[in-house]
Amino acid sequence: MDTQRRTGEEGPVPFRSSRFFCVGSKWYFTTREGFDSGPFASKERAETGLKRFLHVVRMLPEEQQLH
């Protein structure tokens, strides 16, 4: 769990968990919206998958972006 305060945060640090999880030997990432993506062969590949996912989301028009 991440217990570090982020820039601009005030008050108690909210609960945070990793976006990455492993089932058997396969890796997945999850989004705030509850979307799980995978399987990936390694955690590094899951991290790359998440970066690609976020890149695509940022290209969406504002009203279509996931929140």
Q: What is the pLDDT of residues 2-56, one digit of tens each?
A: 566 777 777 787 666 789 999 999 999 998 888 999 999 999 999 999 999 999 9
pLDDT of residue 24: 96
The reported pTM is 0.69
How far is 23 from 15, CA to CA, in rounded Å? Answer: 22
pLDDT of residue 9: 75
Nearest by Cα to 22 from 3, 5, 47, 58: 47
